[in-house]
Amino acid sequence: MIFRSLAVGVLVLGLFFAAINPACFGSLVQEPAAAESVGASNLAISDGETKISLTPAELERRDRVARCLGIYHTKKVDADKLRPWSIMHGLIAYGDKTLIVVQGQPVDAIQYLCSNGIGNGMRLMYLDKGNLATRQGQGVQGHEGQLLAMLAQSRVPASYPIFVEGKKFTVADLIEYEKRGCHSHTELTFKLISLAYYLEPDAVWTNDQGETWTMARLITEEMQQPVNSGACGGTHRLTSLCYAVEQRLQRGQPLDGPWLKAAQAVDGYVELTWTLQNPDGSFSTNWFKGPGAEADIVRRLYTTGHILEWLALALPAERMSDPRVTASVDYLLGLMLSAPGYELDVGPRGHALHALAMYEKKAFGAASDYSDLVMTEAELAVASAKVKTQSGSQFAEEPGTGFSGRRTQSQGVFRRR
């Protein structure tokens, strides 16, 4: 069990573990039996405070993760060709280290997005009667609140400046815009991700219809919608619940009411995920609906990347050595390291890389410096040829509908976002 069902147990353990590691609400987890460690290494890595001893297998996995992140860090989104949706998805894995290409020059991705930069002729934001507003649809936001959620996951502060049509705002203005747009019976997933990061658990606000909203209501409204109906198989909905629970524990507040229900829901879906994991370490290509092991590697990358991304957030650091977790990491690395010469769609690629980045930080105590890791042209050619013989399909997250999963004659191999 990840979250204990008894409120008293949750409160006591939550406060204790949150004090030790407030960034990890998953500390309320019963650890599985520890895997036998063979040939433990004396080598250790350090984040300046905590040293972590690694086995030879862990050292190899750490190096492969760093290499994978380094390779794809060099594959920058080109704003002249791709739309803001792609720029946002290029952002989530690397945060403030993300660079994009604009007119052939490297540019800070966060600064470019917050300056309302053009992506293939499109802009994310506009002025509505002088006020900041965002666009939703193909090529821009696939979901309401998506831009703010991406900024939250990149730890962009509320004071960060935003410029739209010559007028200066800050991320705080975008927060207020998303608060006003909270409505019942709508998708609130990305609003919950962002508002759980930027607001206090006891925050109260009024939407644009004069209704009173709170974090408790936001969580309750989101939980009333089926997980399986959520974006990307429900992984983003589960991620939003994780952020809400994490927010509560970080403030040293009890897990009760909707926060307790959210924790229990996450707990249940983690256990379900293990039952649906494939023998090769990949997760079900049918998400949480049942078993699934489609042969298409791009579908597998899409589902396994998203599910591992959510698990890397939900589980505590000590669970990163769980054999089921490491099996999924190894599987994902196998796909990603065999495909750098293959132009994977930015969306699923971004989520897979985000999964590996979060795993790296939790498993090894710190993010690696991968800026100088590159692939030779020969390696790229071999990798490209290998993957193209395995799959000719494309994958892309369709705004509002999730994974399209199929190639069409008119679209070619790669969807342009």
CA distance 196 to 191: 8
pTM tops 0.85 = no
pLDDT tens across the length of the chain (417 residues)? 444 333 333 333 333 333 323 333 332 222 222 222 222 222 222 233 344 688 899 999 999 999 999 988 988 899 888 899 989 988 889 998 899 999 888 899 999 999 999 999 999 999 999 999 999 998 999 999 999 999 999 999 999 999 999 999 999 999 999 999 999 999 999 999 999 999 999 999 999 999 999 999 999 999 999 999 988 999 999 999 999 999 999 999 999 999 999 999 999 999 999 999 999 999 999 999 999 999 988 899 999 999 999 999 999 999 999 999 999 999 999 998 886 555 667 888 999 999 999 999 999 987 777 554 444 444 444 433 443 333 332 223 323 322 222 222 222 211 222
| Residue 115 and residue 173 in contact, taking contact as beta carbons nearer than 8 Å | no
Tell me the torsion sign for CA atoms 225, 231, 236, 240.
negative
At 346 the pLDDT is 83
